[in-house]
Amino acid sequence: MSQSINLEPVNAFDHATFVGAFASVFEHFPQAAEGAWSARPFASATALHDAMMNVIRRMDDKSQRAFLNLHPLLSGANIRAGTMTADSDAEQKSAGLDAMSAEQEASLDRLNAAYLERHGFPFIICVRHYTREGIFSALERRIGRSTQQELDEALAQIASITRARLNARLCALPATI
């Protein structure tokens, strides 16, 4: 994440402005922004992201699992239905999940169901770092891992996803606020 972003305006945001600017960084979980606000001032974008991730890391296991279940399944059908957040939609499209054959979609649906049944939360991966084939391969491999490994991996993947989302929002802020 860029360290050159001027966080002075962000550090001056009141609570409502801060939460409004960053509530959607974490999928359906504005509590990450709400909890991070009290950690101001932030010396860097990384420090801001760390504060948001710490909200998640401090949750108990049950709450972390509930948080993970806020995330959508990787799915061409979800893209077509328009049921995901704009970020998730763009991310899944970037990996070509909107251009799968019927056979690929059926395979992804089967793998998602197996993963969800085994681990109790959806498969989460920073799709922007993978090709469609790489996503399928990682999903197949990760189904067989322990649920604790997958909980840790899902949180690491969320860190990658949200780091990029936060950086995009910071870069989109007006130079003078």
- Give the active site residues: 71
C-alpha to C-alpha distance for 35 and 19, rounded to whole angstroms: 9
C-alpha to C-alpha distance for 13 and 61, rounded to whole angstroms: 32
Identity of the residue numbered 63 = S
What three-state secondary structure class fits 128? helix
C-alpha to C-alpha distance for 114 and 122, rounded to whole angstroms: 10
Closest C-alpha among 115, 72, 113, 64 to residue 90:
72
Closest C-alpha among 139, 145, 141, 111 to residue 125:
139
Burial profile 52-72: b = 16 or more Cβ within 10 angstroms, e = fewer: bbebbeeeeeeebbebbeebb
C-alpha to C-alpha distance for 39 and 26, rounded to whole angstroms: 17
Task: With beta carbons less than 8 A apart as the criterion, state whether 120 and 85 touch.
Answer: no
Look up residue 9 and give its two tokens: 């305006």
